[in-house]
Structure 1
């Protein structure tokens, strides 16, 4: 019997990260043993390279503000394992985590491993979430894809709507090395005659998403074609956008405000609003203008252009691939204009490191290099060497993240701005420097 959260975490992490045999058969088998809890759920399924978590949070907060009981499944977590599985902004508690984990553990004892292969860590977590949400009888689940889409453990459901935020170069060793290949994997979540909301911008990827939607007879709504947004106002406290879909304002509101102040959140918010409009018009979801706007404004998502300190200004962002760094650079430009920053970065070695570095070098006054606590982390010596290949930039190495942050803060002079980025693991650890002081 599981007694504590740590017992569950140790059990979950005893499984492999990736399966030897790709596919959905293991998850389907486990869910069948548990009575197919996922079939009782109304789900919004969200895939994409970046922006999934923010889009999911906007959706969950808007639905909750309108009186619905909403499950939110996201990954990875920033502060605690339980963050991944939440209902109405409350993480699953340790007692319920132990209870559902015990049921899943019992269910998999007879798994035909020879035929299906060993289960993975993420498959277990996904099944835990489905079971929990079914037990709690939530009204809706906002479900974030873990990796890719086609073979992701979440892709065993028929959702109300499929959302694809964007396409970029990440996990190319698994998803493919071209935008078309990656888009095909992400589009694997598209189900027959289920509407699709897409924020994909690159033509190659757009064509793939569009063609697969048509093939599945799924009506597609595309950012920049069927719905639009424009930044009305942006500062370090709020982002305000206008939004229209099919030429109309949603719920009669001209402007929508959020406390997520990265400029890239304009697209994420518009994806959420487009999804809500479809739910409102096609699925009978009750939404009031005031409650929906309040829910959007109350949405928080740590580690995404998060201003965690103001003197000096410190921005923490989970950018961890080329497109994420480009979006971060554009957000910095929108907020602060043309200037250089003190960077503290820690990157995983299996990412597109050169492309990420190429984005921040022109924006760097100096760069402090550190290492996330992860076996895939790039060593500081290697990363510093990569930086020097890109030009004559002042770098300092400090493998320990806490010491690296202290060093970075000590380097800041009056009016300097610090940016901490590189991976969600990096951001998770870095945030502790501030949260554990409070």
Structure 2
């Protein structure tokens, strides 16, 4: 279950996505150093390999989608038992929360790599290729390895399917593939992002010696609860006995629940704002310059090539998690090597998170899909960019708080082009337009049902304002929308 937008689970979307990749015009002015030069892979150039990967995806898509939740770890436990408990062959850092999980996971991974550890990273959803979900040493596994891992597990998955009331889901099978791939590598440490919630999430067959909780906010309220405290109760399930719980700043009710769980299982607690925190941050060219207080001391002159205050908080959360993994805390008055920390953070990327993919006019992608994420993105746009006229391209999923998302972006968007991505979960464009008119006013809303047309319309609106006068485009509302836009705009 993916805690961000669920991605890659709809056969119709897969067909539409193939059409986007094969036939749509590319709307791109090349930008050295931005989209196209990170670890988001293209589909294989070899037609036979591409067909084989597509066949695996089709088989996975025939299972329960990520949006369907059955609160049980029985299937995952059964499969792990058959496979010989691969998830217990390496230590793990387990990450839950509402927003910021993927960025935090990527920062943790980069820090561990800088300290010469072999890493496995499991994140969801993917931006463009399903292979992104399973990374080894900072790069997505190859299509060949993804296919091989799937076929290696297929007979055992079939055994579990036949012994349980329900077949294994899309997310459960890929989670098992990640755990098996990490054991086969083998990795020194796994960085594992929860899909949805925590207690019943398929990833929770792993016992993370460090449990990280990013800020808890309202999302998936129909499944996780109607308050941040209730949602935190589900997410607290990843905090295991004798682990270290590294907690971002939380709403009061969520903090209380997380602390109670930590006491219950005798976990050590490190809290942002008390044991660690962001001391200073300055906007810099291409990102921000940070001074962070970790569990062992102060780290200054840390350049992070990501925008926004929320990313600074993700960075210190990642730093504290890695310190905890290495045993640094209140009883160990030492810090990690500062030069290594600086090198690691300077190499961080997070595709689809305030990512520039085009210039003249500047086009920025951000996967914000709930009000809390939208507020963070809106503040970061205002801080990091000198836009005088920003046009939004918004294509959310219908099961989100879309009004709240639009209201969060309204102060920074001069105009908005409402559209939809190719998944069946996309919000109906007419319903979205009606909401947008209520929030923005009729004169500021344009409707373009096709995403490629919406991008062209937004770029034209920005061009009308003059590329050199500070006009730009922000594409947002869903990871799916951002992934499809990234492809249309020429990203990998």
Q: Is the 8 A contact 2:301 2:342 kept in 1?
A: no
**Distance 1:403-1:35 versus aligned 2 partners, 3 A rule:** same
- Structure 1 window deviating more from structure 2 (79-88 vs 329-338): it is 329-338
Counterparts of 1:231 and 1:288, CA distance in 2: 19
Equivalent residue, structure 2, for 1:378? 427
Moved more, 284-293 or 218-227: 284-293
Gaps of 5+ in 1: none
Is the aligned partner of 1:277 residue 2:323?
yes
Q: Does 1:17 align with 2:72?
A: no
Match for residue 407 of structure 1 among 438, 449, 457: 457
Mapped contact 2:280–2:292 kept (Cα < 8 A): no
Which structure ranks higher in relative contact order (CA pairs < 8 Å, sequence separation ≥ 6)? 2
- Higher mean alpha-carbon deviation, 238-247 vs 395-404, is at 238-247
- The worse-fitting range, judged by mean Cα deviation, of 340-349 and 422-431 is 340-349
The yes-or-no answer on 1:196 pairing with 2:245 is: yes
Question: Quick one: which of 302, 309, 312 aligns to 2:361?
Answer: 312
On the 8 A contact 1:235/1:261 being kept in 2, the answer is: no
Classify the secondary structure of the residue corresponding to 1:4.
Answer: helix
Give, in whole Å, the separation in 2 of the partners of 1:280 and 1:9: 37
Partner residue of 1:168 out of 217, 229, 239? 217
Give how far 1:233 is off: 1.6
Q: Does 1:420 align with 2:475?
A: yes
Cα distance, 1:46 vs. partner?
0.5
Q: Please give the residue correspondences for 1:260-409 in structure 2 after superposition, counting only pairs within 5 Å.
A: 260-282=306-328, 288-336=337-385, 341-393=390-442, 394-409=444-459
For 2:295 and 2:173, the matched residues in 1 are separated by 41
The CA RMSD measured in Å over matched residues stands at 2.2
- Native 8 Å contact 1:20 1:117 kept in 2: no
* Structure 2: distance between partners of 1:34 and 1:101: 13
Change (3 A) 1:105 1:114: closer
Deviations 1:186-239 (A, max 9, x none): 111110110100113211111111111111111111111211104432145021
Given the two structures, how large is their TM-score scaled by the length of structure 2?
0.84
Q: Structure 2: which 5+ residue stretches go unaligned?
A: 1-48
1:47–1:149: 8 Å Cα contact kept in structure 2? yes
Alpha-carbon offset, residue 390 of structure 1: 2.5
- CA shift, 1:314, in A, is 2.0
The residue aligned with 2:42 is none
1:104-143 paired onto structure 2 within 5 Å: 104-111=153-160, 113=162, 115-143=164-192
**Aligned residue pairs, count:** 433
In structure 2, C-alpha distance between the alignment counterparts of 1:400 and 1:115, rounded to whole Å = 41
Give SS of 2:290's match. Answer: strand
TM-score using structure 1 length: 0.94
Instruction: Map 1:87-236 onto structure 2 (within 5 A).
Output: 87-111=136-160, 113=162, 115-236=164-285
Equivalent position to 1:256, from 302, 319, 325: 302
- CA distance in structure 1 between the partners assigned to 2:371 and 2:279 by the alignment: 24
* Cα distance in 2 between the residues matched to 1:367 and 1:325: 14
Q: CA deviation at 1:282?
A: 4.8
**Structure 1 residues 259 and 151, CA, compared in 2 at 3 Å: closer, same or farther?**
same
